[in-house]
């Protein structure tokens, strides 16, 4: 059985950028809903008992419903880990890799912000590491996820409206601006 992970921080740690009410819905209803529906959907199928990564990899072609639920479970679990009340800036090897592949941290931030801002409809902005250990930024629609690819996921921002509508209404820009104060760069570096 897949389980909803506990949030790795107190649910009031990011207010007013991301309120306790948002976590109550986004983690307690949306993410929990994906996990519960995933468990129901895999019951008695070949997917039962497999790891989340295996389910994502094998369901994409044969079972869109299972894929969407499994990928959203992965994406949300990863997203919570990308957040920290302490924030800061990247350091060490990660800072060097960002400078190498984007020119500067500011240029990286601008490109990630632009991808998140201009993404049409529901989806995710991701920083991933691909071939030759090169870092790049990609937008993924709906439940699509780098977990289904050969790329290594490093950092993500949920740009579905449910992620920001309670606290920012339609202002996706203020949601993205605030995100930069709360990135868990230690987690990103570990990936
Ligand atoms: Mn979400």
Q: Reply yes or no on whether the pLDDT at 191 is more than 90.
A: yes
C-alpha span between 136 and 7 (Å, rounded): 27
DSSP state of 148: G
Question: What mean pLDDT do residues 152-171 have?
Answer: 98
Binding site residues for Mn(2+), as ranges? 26, 76, 158, 162
C-alpha span between 178 and 172 (Å, rounded): 10
C-alpha span between 126 and 115 (Å, rounded): 9
Q: Reply yes or no on whether the pLDDT at 149 is more than 90.
A: no
Q: Phi and psi dihedrals of 125, rounded to 5? A: -100, 135
| pLDDT of amino acid 148 | 79
Question: What mean pLDDT do residues 141-170 have?
Answer: 95
Question: Which residues are near ligand 1, the ion (C-beta closer than 5 Å)?
Answer: 158, 160, 163
pTM: 0.97
Q: How far is CA 120 from CA 52, 100, 149, 175, in A?
A: 27, 29, 22, 16
Question: What mean pLDDT do residues 53-71 have?
Answer: 95
Domains of the chain: 20-81 (1.10.287.990), 92-190 (3.55.40.20)
């Amino acid at each position: 059985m897949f389980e909803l992970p506990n949030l790795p921080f107190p649910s009031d740690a990011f207010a007013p950028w991301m309120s306790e009410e948002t976590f109550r819905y986004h983690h307690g209803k949306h993410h929990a809903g994906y996990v519960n529906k995933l468990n129901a959907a895999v019951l008695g199928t070949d997917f039962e008992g497999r790891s989340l990564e295996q389910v994502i990899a094998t369901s994409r072609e044969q079972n869109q419903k299972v894929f969407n639920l499994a990928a959203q479970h992965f994406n949300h679990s990863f997203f919570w880990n990308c957040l920290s009340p302490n924030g800061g800036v990247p350091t060490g090897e990660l800072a060097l890799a960002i400078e190498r592949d984007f020119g500067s941290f500011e240029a990286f931030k601008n490109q990630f912000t632009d991808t998140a801002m201009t993404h049409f409809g529901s989806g995710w902005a991701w920083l991933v590491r691909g071939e030759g250990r090169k870092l790049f930024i990609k937008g993924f629609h709906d439940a699509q996820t780098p977990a289904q690819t050969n790329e290594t996921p490093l950092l993500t921002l949920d740009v579905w409206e449910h992620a920001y509508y309670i606290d920012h209404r339609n202002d996706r820009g203020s949601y993205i601006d605030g995100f930069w104060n709360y990135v868990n760069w230690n987690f990103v570096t570990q990936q």
